[in-house]
Amino acid sequence: MTTYIWQHPDWPNRRYDMTRLATPLATVRHVQGRLLGRMESLGFSLRDEAWLQTLTQDVVKTSEIEGERLDAEQVRSSIARHLGLDIGALAPLDRHVEGIVEVMLDATQRYAVPLTAERLFAWHGALFPTGRSGLAQIRVAAWRDDAGGPMQVISGSVINPCGREKVHYTAPPANRLAAEMTIFLDWFEQPGELDPVLKAGLAHLWFVTLHPFDDGNGRIARAIGDMALARSEQSQQRFYSLSAQIQQERTDYYNVLERSQKSDLDVTEWLLWFLACLQRAIARADETLSAVLAKAKFWERFASAPMNERQIKVLNRLLDGFEGKLTTSKWAKLAKCSQDTAYRDILSLIELDALVKADGGGRSTSYELALAKQVKLIYHCLPTLTE
């Protein structure tokens, strides 16, 4: 029978080797400081734009890790509403999007407020406002009760599971959760010598090991980790997305979690992976910074150009990162206009040298920003956080 980390007699007294963690922790702290210093040198508007882009990416990617795709424009609009940032026309409200945005903002904006069971219940209720996860009804704003059997992480065929399912992890029984969560929350709020970055990694592993809710445990674990990272920086503003990096390394993330949950109480491997992933996330902040600077440069150049609201809206979508190729049909959908109107909008922007036809042919002509090549050049010329 598999022995999980929570079944050890000394649980939750985990061990880790600080001689192996000291150097990667110092490196993370260094790049954290460099990033904050670089962002403080920007003007308020550019810093707010970088903050908004990072938060949008964080919300979208933490949901994508769980296989759920959110509309980035709705996420961005929701965050802007909550933070009072002016981004022009806002997308319609979606209660599901609002819920995850509220959780992430509460964790990072109110990072100094103690984490309690009631606060976790509020987060869970925001994630599942209808009381359902997909079609399944779940317990909301309460610890799971295991009425349907033990909480397990399983992969395999749902349609024909015989011989194909694999149990990756079994969580502690529900009757232990109240006591276990009390210990966890007391530890999280206890001051001490433990570096907050290491606390972020330990809290993430500890929470997903307990798996206290019917669903949403991964998203809440990452929110708790972001809360600890905000405490480590003493800042409400975040300019890197750990969730985006975890999503990119999703397979490794789940593999190291599984090994750590099936190991003894030594969690050094998990913390080494967490620190390395965090360092890569901070390094990727260069991409956000380059995009923000490129956007500012673009609008500085076209500040006096005659453009209608549709054109400004779609250009901003391109500047914020548009997936796929921009065609007249996609323009029409984004701008909510006819294809003839979309084509006229595009032609006038080509005349202004704001758009160009994209390289390559195909069945549909596509377009891109005329500054696309300059954007790439700006990015490659920027000093990196690791230099």
80 annotated among ligand-binding-site residues: no
CA separation for the pair 74, 269 (Å, rounded): 37
254 annotated among ligand-binding-site residues: yes
CA atoms within 13 A of residue 205's CA, in its CB half-sphere: 33
316 annotated among ligand-binding-site residues: no
99 annotated among ligand-binding-site residues: no
What's 338's DSSP letter?
Answer: -
379 annotated among ligand-binding-site residues: no
The three-class DSSP label of residue 355 is: strand
160 annotated among ligand-binding-site residues: no
Residue (of 180, 200, 188, 209) closest to 271 by Cα position: 200
Q: Is 136 exposed, middle or buried (0-12, 13-18, 19+ CB in 10 A)?
A: exposed
The 3-class secondary structure across 139-187, one letter per residue, is: CCCCCCCCCCCCCEEEECCCCCCCCCCEEEEECCCHHHHHHHHHHHHHH
The three-class DSSP label of residue 84 is: coil
310 annotated among ligand-binding-site residues: no
CA separation for the pair 328, 126 (Å, rounded): 38
Sole residue written with tokens 């996330």: 281
Sole residue written with tokens 């909008």: 345
CA separation for the pair 145, 367 (Å, rounded): 54
What's 369's DSSP letter?
Answer: E
Selected catalytic residue, list 82, 124, 168, 211: 211
217 annotated among ligand-binding-site residues: yes
Q: Sign of the CA dihedral 195, 201, 203, 205?
A: negative
222 annotated among ligand-binding-site residues: yes
215 annotated among ligand-binding-site residues: yes
Sole residue written with tokens 């490794």: 252
Displacement of CA 358 from its chain's centroid (Å): 30
Q: Sign of the CA dihedral 191, 194, 199, 203?
A: negative
Annotated catalytic residue 30: no
Q: Which residues are annotated as a binding site for ATP?
A: 215-222, 253-254
Annotated binding residues, as ranges? 215-222, 253-254
Q: List active site positions.
A: 211
